Amino acid sequence: MCHPIFFRSCNPAGNWYQWGILYGSRSNPKPQYPNTQTRLKDAFKRVIKIFTDNKAPVQFQLNINANNGYDDKTPFATWWPGTVGLSSVAITAYNRACSTPSHQDSKPFRDRFSAAYNQVKALTPLPIWVAETGTTSCKTDKPTWVKEAFRDIALLFPQVVQVTWFLTDKLQEGVVTDWDMHDGTKVSALHYACLCALTLQDLIQLD
């Protein structure tokens, strides 16, 4: 059976990849080739054109991080490449509590996600995906966080149609961050939350 392929190119609000619009003088090894809004838009459209010209069976997404790199406050609309050729927009939003020195606080999913969601919702009616999400256990009751996240996705973010959960522990800046769901309590919370979210969405559609 064939499965749809979704392609995310040039997630643009970051400073951690070379193609990011904020990959600037502090990290760019070739400052003579600065990233610009125009170059970002042209690159994004070029990738879509190459695939569509060759009739590749691919659906395209714009993937946005919920927070710009360097804590930059530039609104998404400034570098928005348009939605020609897109099937959906994906937003990455983690609760990175204690994962790095600059990420120490713990917040619920809705607080991590809502500002980016509202910006995207104002720009397009396309379906929205949660590109990646998850939480550490630091300062956080993980099972409760998971349940509340799915409840809020169902009730507060009706344009969201898909959620991808990140479950791999990572070593970052000398700290092991526990994104996993290894024990039964966490796994049960994830199962329960998924079921509740689906039930809530069904009830909303019935209304």
Q: Are 150 and 106 in contact (CB under 8 A)?
A: no
Residues 125-131 have a mean pLDDT of 96
The predicted-structure confidence for 56-82, as pLDDT tens digits, reads as follows: 999 999 999 998 877 778 888 988 888
Dihedral (CA of 167, 169, 170, 176) sign: positive
For the chain, domains (ranges, CATH) are 5-206 (3.20.20.80)
Dihedral (CA of 204, 117, 152, 150) sign: positive
Q: What is the mean pLDDT of the chain?
A: 84
The predicted-structure confidence for 31-60, as pLDDT tens digits, reads as follows: 666 777 788 888 888 999 999 999 999 999
pLDDT range class, residue 207, cuts 50, 70, 90 = very low
Scored b (16 or more CB within 10 A) or e, 33-61 reads eebeeeebbeebeeebeebeeeeeeeebb
pTM (two decimals): 0.85
Q: Higher-confidence residue: 200 or 16?
A: 16
Percent of the chain past pLDDT 90, that is, above it, reads 41
pLDDT range class, residue 205, cuts 50, 70, 90 = very low
